[in-house]
Structure 1
Amino acid sequence: MVLLLVLLVASVVVTVAVAASFGPVLAVDRVVADGLHALALSHHGFVTAAQVWTDVFQPWTFRAILIFLALWLLARRRPWTAVWILATTALAGILDSGLKVLIGRDRPHWIDPVSHAVGGSFPSGHSLTSAMACAVLLRLAWPLVTRRWVWSVVAVAVPFITGFTRVFLGVHYVSDVIGGWLIAAALVAAMTLVDVRHQPNG
């Protein structure tokens, strides 16, 4: 419960700061964006690698994995877990789309862009969805796997790299990415609390 409250407060603070165009946040966003864009312009190989990563690890890749897993669990007669996965996935999508419309933040604009994206900037859908999916998959795999530290590292590394590519490619600000991570973490924490408290026996 404490972790959930911390994540909720953190995600709300970042969201409000972006919505209110809080000066220090905008300043950090601009400095990081300018620095990474300059790096991208001089390292075309990194841009190609980042573009491949962001194209592969896009939101619908993770959604497809979770939907397939939910259908498999339904076939294995585990409807509660399947519904929990689908509900978490759907809520993540609603939060992503809804906040993009509500906040209405423009994406970074460049005279010489290295990549392109459409829609609102906050939150980063790639970051939110990848963090949500990795957290869900890690939670479900936790009782079944050994060397849990390896799986934990992977579950953190994938969203981190995904978020970095979005800023590196100049299609998001760093606060968009951090906001996406925090919203995903708060969502999964809340849904885990629901699961723990209301999961049917058997």
Structure 2
Amino acid sequence: MHHPTATERVAADRAAALRDVQRRNLLRCAGLALCCAALLGVLLALVESRWGPLARLDRGWVRPLHDYAREHAAWTASMQTLADLGGTVTMRVLLGAAAVWLWCLGARTLAFWAAAQALVGWALAAAARAAIDRPRPHFADAVGHASGGAFPSGHATASAITCAALLALVWPRADRVGRAVASSAAALAVLAVGWTRIALGVHWPSDVVGGWLAAGTVLGGVTVAVELWRPGALLRDARRVDWRTRPRVQRVLATGAAPRGGPDKDT
């Protein structure tokens, strides 16, 4: 009867721990996608039924902000500049650049995940706006202009997906301070982009919230789909990226000898 060696027991424990992490990640992402999809459905039902409290809240935000923007040209210009910087094209380019970088590092599944987030997010937002075709706020003296349906906000969807995806890529390689800074920067960027859409009078507040919920649905759903397609590949790619981006000196100090290659390749 074969008795496992100490090395085999350690390897088995590591494999079991990895499977446990994968299960927890899968459940968290599935929960995120389902909760956001359910809330998005509820919000859409309220929008379509023209629910009074929501309609009053939307109008109560948009009208005063439009009046303020009309009277303060500097404020309006700053909002437009911020909206342009955080536009859908910019966000998709950033995520596409991250996907190319990951591909060059050999993290092919993680690169596919990043590209899929951008593409699925764009397709979902575009299809939803076309199908729902909610009218945007209308002003005779509008300070901002946008075309197409209002719900959900494409800017809000794209910025939330991109910032969350980039944060997920940074998270494993950052310390506590770095994670706090990155999380704060991502949250501020998402909130700022969403705010510009309301401040410029091109979206209702519920459109922005809908965009954030759509982003959560895409982030969780795409991650679950990729994890089911290639179980464990995202975590292996994250380790590969960490290995290949870590300074060589740190590798030597961590291992006590010069490294001879990276982590095991996918099989």
- Report the TM-score range of the alignment, normalised by the length of the smaller protein: over 0.9
Native 8 Å contact 2:32 2:216 kept in 1:
no
Equivalent position of 1:75 in the other structure: 104
Residue 19 (structure 1) shift: 2.6
What displacement does 1:3 show?
A: 3.7
What is the match of residue 29 of structure 1? 58
Match of 2:126 in 1: 97
Is 1:165 paired with 2:196?
yes
Aligned equivalents of 2:114, 2:32: Cα separation in 1: 20
CA distance in 2, matches of 1:5, 1:33: 30
Q: Give structure 1 regions of 4+ aligned residues with deviation exceeding 4 angstroms.
A: none
Q: What is the correspondence of 1:1-202 to structure 2 with a 5 Å cutoff?
A: 1=27, 2-146=31-175, 147=177, 148-197=179-228, 198-200=231-233, 201=236, 202=266
Change (3 A) 1:127 1:75: same
Instruction: Please give the alpha-carbon distance, in whole angstroms, between the structure 1 residues aligned to 2:92 and 2:32.
Output: 25
Alpha-carbon shift at residue 194 of structure 1 (Å): 3.6
Deviation, 1:195, is 4.3
Is contact 1:135-1:185 (8 Å) kept? no
1:171 maps to a residue whose letter is V
Structure having the higher Rg: 2
Deviation, structure 1 residue 37: 1.0
1:199 and 1:8, CA in 2 relative to 1: closer, same or farther beyond 3 A? same
Displacement after TM superposition at 1:196 (Å)? 4.6
Contact 1:37-1:169 within 8 A present in 2 as well: yes
Q: How many residues align?
A: 202
Q: Which has the higher contact order (CA 8 A, sep 6+)?
A: 1
* Structure 1 portions without partners, runs of 5+: none
Percent identity at matched positions? 34
Q: Which amino acid aligns with 2:141?
A: D
How far is 1:69 from its partner? Answer: 1.3
Amino acid at match of 1:85: A
In structure 2, the gaps of 5 or more residues are: 1-26, 237-265
Give the whole-Å Cα distance in 2 for the aligned partners of 1:3 and 1:84. 16
Look up the SS of the partner of 1:113 in the other structure: coil
- Compute the displacement of 1:170 (Å): 0.5
The alignment's C-alpha RMSD in Å is 1.5
Separation in structure 2 between the aligned mates of residue 139 and residue 46 of structure 1, nearest angstrom = 33
TM-score w.r.t. the length of structure 2 is 0.72
TM-score normalised by the chain length of structure 1: 0.94
Counterpart of 1:142 in 2: which secondary structure?
helix
Tell me how far 1:18 sits from its aligned partner. Answer: 1.7
| 1:137-174 CA distance string (max 9 Å, x none) | 00111001232111111111101010100100011100
Deviations 1:13-59, CA, capped at 9 Å, x for gaps: 11222233222221211111112112212222111100000011100
Give the residue type in structure 2 aligned to 1:6: C
| C-alpha contact 1:113 1:170 (8 A) present in aligned 2 | yes
Asked whether the 8 Å contact 1:123–1:177 carries over to 2, the reply is: yes
For 1:192, the aligned partner's letter is T
Partners in 2 of 1:41 and 1:27 — Cα distance?
A: 21
Within 2, Cα distance between the matches of 1:151 and 1:196? 25
Cα distance in 2 between the residues matched to 1:186 and 1:154: 22
